[in-house]
Each structure stands twice: as structure tokens, then as C-alpha cells.
Copies of this chain bind each other. A is one copy, B any other.
Amino acid sequence: MSATIRYGMVGGGADAFIGDVHRQSARLDGRYDLVCGAFSSDPKISLESGLALGLPEGRCYPDYLSMIEAEAGLPESERMQCVVIVTPNHLHFPVAKAAIQAGFHVISDKPATFDLAECRELSALLESSSCQYALTHPYTAYPMIQEARERIAAGELGKIRKIFVEYTQGWLAEAIETGGQKQADWRTDPQRAGISCCMGDIGVHAFNLAEFVSGLAVDSLSAELNRIVSGRCLDDDGAALLKFSNGASGVLIASQVCTGDENDLRLRIYGDKGGLSWSQEEPNSLWLKFSDQPTQLVRTGNPWTSKSSLNGVRLPAGHPEGYIEAFANIYKNFADHLLDSALDSKPAYPGIQDALRGMAFVETVVASSEQDNAWMDIPG
């Protein structure tokens, strides 16, 4: 069946970055059609952006509320089925809420909401509706991350004892927000980003990855956040000691002031039988380590890798697959869930549970840091 999903986009106009990533991801497998959008808080930019994307003028909306209202009034076979949210953080929840209340599915950029309270409200809303919700944590959609999760679930590493996860970037090593860099501007602004810059933006990806791959939950943490570049109101760096549900311990590092680092997300997990490591900048390699045999290098696309890994692969082994392919796996799996399986399969993409965990993590690291890195439980 070749059915595609019609989607409308909120945000993602002109000089945005992540909007284009979503559109490319939606296009890659031919499972989505962009049919409308409210691409900017400036109606003029929204219209220009929509026209440039080939939309008819009538479906380039000045704001998301009018988009949702107008689309809801269209015949079922024409109207959008899904809203993609790629605005700054503070708008994620209001848009998602309006969309769900009007009966539209939602794909939201992360974080799901501005804070945990909103996220719980969103969760309740979803429970009482039949709308589906995907949150774009793309790193978990890399084939070798799926493979890592499968290996641990199968017990290949034994009982998990240690988890190190780190995400370091260098792009905020200088105060580029004062020079008008748009991404830096809103991410360092508490009004639009929320209570955290670094932990909310990238620490939460590291947290999500650690929980996803290990299959364990972080119970409590002790965190220290820093504002390294002077003038910042939000953290641009931090670290946390972690305690997991099974007694394992770990360390999470996130920083945006590591000069010269690009997007260095790394994960290492050790059990009593073996260890693994993975690095986002070489995502098609997964290392499995043992004390009594050679280290194994597992590579994306080999036919002997796991089914859930191969599900996210488009090419034979040796043809590098990258970030957009991982991102597109979320779109593909969301489409599969909506269209092919009558919604009775288990969603193979991040959703509201990941959202709740992430928001709880961010609130807990901030609270712990404010209390001299006291140990704090992550609210369930």
C-alpha cells in the first residue's frame, strides 16, 4: 500500500534549521505529503516559506490556530492528518494541545513541552484521545543504537553496572547569541527555552539514549550545572552522577562550550559479561567488548544484525547512513504505525513516555544543581 500521510508544519520557515530536517525526513521514504503550514510567527514569512515549498497560497496560514481551524473544516480526504511542530520550545505544548483537541496526530520536535507540568497535561490529553504522538529523539533511531538495545535486552552484556553518556558541542563556546545567531538567541533565553539551555537541548538526548539502550530507568541523580560564558542566564554546561533502577551507576556529561567539538554524543555501557560503546559521529559502528575474546565491531546493514536494526537501514553495509536517515526512521515508523497496523502494534518511535522522562530529567538536574548537587529522585 502506498498511502501517504498529509501533514501541516508549524514553524520551520526561512532561517530555521530543524524545520528542514523534518521536511527532508518526511520526504525520504515518500510516506508524507506536506499540504499546509504556519511556518512563522510573521504571516508574511509564513506565506513566502509555504510558496517556496510549493504549497498553494490558501494553505499557507498566518498562525497555527487558523491552520488547525481551517484544516479541520476541509473534507477528510484533503485535510492534513498530522501536525509537525518545529517552533521554539515554549510553543510546543500549545500547538500540540490545539492539534490534538482538533483530532490531529502530532510529531513534535523535542522537548515536548516547556515544563513537566505541561507535559503531564499533554500526556493526559493523549490518553483521552485517539491521536498518536511522536517525539523526535533521532539518536535512538540509528540502526546501531537499535542493535545495542537488542543486544543488552538479550543479555549479551550480562547485568548492567556502569553507564557513561556524554554529549559535547562547541558551538556556544562564545556568546554568539549577542551577535544575533538565531538558534543561540532563543536557546539561551529562559522565556523561550525553559529552565535549561544545555541540559534541555542536548543533555536530555543523552539521558534518553542511556535509558533507551540500557532498558533501565534513572532513579536519582546529583547534578552540577554551569554558566560558563559570562552573561548567560541558563546553563551551557553540566554533569550528573546517575543511579539506575537496577543499582547500576553512571555519569552524564553535557556541554556546549567544548571548543572544537561538533556533535559528540557518546555512549558506553558495561555489564558483568561485556561492554559496548557507540559514537554519534561514526554512527554505523557499534563496539562490543569482552574480557575473554576480541572486541567486536558491528556495522550497520549487515544481514546478521537484528531485525529492529535492519528496519532502519536503506542501503547495503558500507554505504554510510547518517543523521537524516535516523531522523527519517522516526517518520517512517510513525507512518507504519498510523497506516499499516491499525494502531495495534507497539509504536517503534519515541513518544509521550520519552517526553515525560525527559522533562522530569531536566527539572531534576536543575533542582539538584540549585541545591549544591544534592541527590534527588527523578519524579516518576
Contact = CB atoms under 8 A, between A and B. Distances in A.
Interface of A: 1-2, 4, 17, 20-21, 23-24, 27-30, 51-54, 157-158, 161-162, 164, 166, 169-171, 173-174, 222, 224, 226, 228, 237, 239, 241, 249, 251, 253, 255, 257-264, 268, 270-275, 280-284, 288-299, 301-302, 304, 314-325, 372-373, 375
A272 B173 CA distance: 7
* Chain A, interface SS category: loop
A304 B293 contact: yes
A254 B78 CA distance: 52
A162 to B, nearest CB: 6
A249 B224 CA distance: 10
A319 B315 contact: no
State how many copies of this chain the complex holds: 4
A239 B164 CA distance: 11
Contacts of A30: 23, 27, 53-54
B270 A314 contact: no
B24 A314 contact: yes
A162 B299 CA distance: 23
B249 A226 contact: yes
Given A51-B2, A295-B299, A296-B296, A258 B322 contact: no
A321 B324 CA distance: 7
A270 B257 contact: yes
Contact of A262 (B226, B294, B299): B299
A28 B27 CA distance: 6
A46 to B, nearest CB: 15
Given A27-B28, A262-B299, A290-B260, A320 B319 contact: no
Contacts of A28: 24, 27-28, 324
